[in-house]
Amino acid sequence: MSDRAALTLVVYSVDEQDQAAVLAAIDDAGLESDTDTPEEGTVALGTHYVIGQTPLGEWQDLSRVLRSTASSAVFELWQDPFESTDGDYVAHVPGIGTYNGWCSGDGTPHVDIGELVKSLNSVPSFMTVEFWLAQHGDALLGRRILAAIEAHKSRNDPVAG
């Protein structure tokens, strides 16, 4: 048996002209809505599209396809942890960027403490925390992208209402 784990995609916003591309990517990845079937031909914003088991690394292909064929899509996706490894997480917000990191099984992103310590140890003594967070820290922690995702969640996630 090959290494496999669950994969989840949540789309928070997508322009009408990109909906077909998102739906095609969802279909090609074998994802299904975890709630009621969305209206035919539309992406159910804030809905979890999942597949129980798919080869590790599939999140990379899905992320690449969505970013290249549905440029307006705001999404997050994650592949669950496998054995003793963390899961893989990606969030994308057009105009802001893409954040890749590690995550727990419920898609909660987290940072590798070793990477954080390494980054902090390389900071020049004159650099302020504010500057570090705006530059190196933002890249490592994904603050701007995750804040934008949270704003979309609060507007579009049926659970967050």
Q: Are 51 and 30 in contact (CB under 8 A)?
A: yes
Tell me which residue of 135, 84, 94, 88 sits closest to 110, measured CA to CA. 88
pTM: 0.83
Mean pLDDT of 39-58: 86
pLDDT reading at 15 higher than 50: yes
- pLDDT band (50, 70, 90) for residue 20: very high
Tokens 């893989």 sit on residue: 88
Tokens 């990606």 sit on residue: 90
For residue 161, the model assigns a pLDDT of 45
pLDDT reading at 9 higher than 80: yes
Structure tokens at 81: 């942890």
Q: How many CA atoms lie within 13 A of 90 on its CB side?
A: 23
